[in-house]
């Protein structure tokens, strides 16, 4: 025999035929993969699941994902692949919270810029404003600054949460 026996045949002491059904998934250098899959699924169940998939490419994907799952299940017998999913979800949540905070801050500075522009505009108008309009303009300016202070409180509150 020109080729070395696949990991499954080597493990069982079988002679590995050219049409061996295990060889495509467990070449001779993948003994560790085979042992994990055999322990977690049983090699017959593995073959049954792989063969239940009709598309050739999907069959390969099914085999590779079961190999990954088997290794993770051995490392974490309690949570297995669900533990990895939960960990990744927690990371996504954490990054999302950080992103929300940054977007909040960006919005705050945009609002500040907008208020500054309005203030400059009002100042220009004040310079050429008859005295009768002055009180109305003052009311608008006070309103804007009250709103700005509310925004500052919001941002500093959300900033101190993390």
Binding site for Zn ion (CB under 5 A): 6, 9, 16, 20, 22-23
Q: In the bound complex, what is the minimum distance in angstroms from residue 52's beta carbon to Zn ion?
A: 21
Least distance in angstroms from the C-beta of 36 to Zn ion: 17
Measured CA to CA, the distance from residue 62 to residue 24 in angstroms comes to 13
53 Cα distance to chain centroid:
28
Nearer to Zn ion by C-beta: 5 or 72? 5
Residue carrying the six token digits 């290794």: 71
Closer Cβ to Zn ion, 48 or 153, answer by number = 48
Q: Which residues contact 122 (CB under 8 A, 6 or more apart)?
A: 137, 140, 141
The DSSP-derived string for 125-144 is: HHHT--HHHHHHHHHHHHHH
Q: Is 19 or 127 the residue whose CB approaches Zn ion more closely?
A: 19
Distance CA 144, CA 124 (A): 16
Residue 43 CB, nearest distance to Zn ion (Å)?
Answer: 11
Which of 9/50 has CB closer to Zn ion? Answer: 9
Q: Least separation, in Å, of the C-beta of 45 and Zn ion?
A: 17
Contact between 96 and 102 under an 8 Å Cβ cutoff? The reply is no
């Amino acid at each position: 025999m020109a080729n070395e026996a696949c990991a499954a045949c080597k493990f069982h002491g079988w002679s590995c035929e050219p049409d061996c059904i295990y060889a495509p998934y467990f070449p001779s250098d993948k003994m560790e993969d085979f042992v994990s899959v055999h322990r977690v699924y049983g090699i017959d169940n593995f073959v049954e699941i792989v063969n239940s998939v009709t598309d050739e490419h999907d069959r390969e994907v099914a085999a590779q994902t079961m190999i990954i799952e088997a290794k993770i299940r051995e490392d974490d017998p309690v949570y297995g692949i669900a533990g990895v999913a939960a960990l990744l979800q927690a990371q996504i949540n954490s990054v999302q919270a950080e992103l929300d905070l940054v977007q909040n801050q960006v919005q705050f500075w945009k609002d500040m810029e907008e208020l500054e522009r309005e203030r400059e505009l009002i100042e220009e108008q004040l310079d050429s404003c008859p005295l009768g309009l002055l009180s109305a303009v003052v009311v608008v300016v006070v309103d804007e600054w009250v709103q700005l202070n509310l925004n500052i409180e919001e941002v500093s509150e959300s900033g101190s949460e993390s």
